[in-house]
Amino acid sequence: MNRSMTMKCRVTILFMLATFFAMGQVKKYDLQSLLKSKKLAIVNRTVSSIADNKKAVKFDERSDEGVAWLQGVTFSSGTIEIDLRGQDVLQKSFVGIAFHGVNDSTFEAVYFRPFNFHAKDTVRKIHAVQYISHPVYTWRKLRDERNGIFEKGLIVPAPDPNGWFHARIEVLKDVVRVFVDDDAEPSLTVNRLNDRKSGTLGLWVGDGSGGEFANLSIKQN
């Protein structure tokens, strides 16, 4: 084997070892640093830092959905953890995570409706956490055709709808599971509605909604 081939083999082995050791490790993201370094690709929102929380960013409110994609981050399967804060204002707070993104209109997402966390109305209460797969499976299509399957209520006790809460989203080959705060049981377990294996990942807000995000971490399987 000549010197050139030996060097190529070494590079290949080092790359494979780096990939192996990276699997299963938790990577944490400082969202304010990503914002300042222009590593968030922001769509249909203005995103700003929060002065009293050095790790958080805030989306403004405007019509239609908004997203901030993490540039250079590809997510396949594993666990996404994030702290979120919405508000207890009816139909004005939809906050979550988009993943397996192909473009700004093709992605999966898990999001929360904080205004339904403590709703006394039994119908609203079961619409607290939602899975979608755009562009085909919007929340409206899923509610009309498969009501109660891709959205659920939160396990009691539900968080303060105006406060920070923690979400853990497990994305597997065929299944998505969503846990809130310290709950040992998932609030939502659904079968995925497409077969994409990977894609971009971003912070997501719904139509007319702002939201706050902090302490993002990702553990790839």
pLDDT reading at 160 higher than 70: yes
Please report the beta strands in the chain, taking only residues with DSSP state E, as ranges in sequence order: 26-29, 40-43, 47-50, 53-59, 66-75, 78-85, 95-103, 106-112, 129-134, 151-152, 165-171, 175-180, 188-191, 199-205, 211-220
pLDDT band at 2 (very low <50, low <70, confident <90, very high): low
pTM: 0.89
The predicted pLDDT at position 52 comes to 85
pLDDT band at 1 (very low <50, low <70, confident <90, very high): low
Over residues 21-35, the pLDDT tens digits come to 455 799 999 999 999
Please state, in angstroms and as integers, the Cα–Cα distance from residue 66 to each residue in 41, 45, 126, following that order.
11, 6, 24
The first and second tokens of residue 63, run together, are: 């019509």
Over residues 62-88, the pLDDT tens digits come to 999 999 999 999 999 999 999 999 999
Residue entry with tokens 């002065």: 51
Domains of the chain, CATH where assigned: 26-220 (2.60.120.560)
CA distance 198 to 100: 5
Over residues 111-136, the pLDDT tens digits come to 999 999 999 999 999 999 999 999 99
Averaged pLDDT for residues 142-160: 95
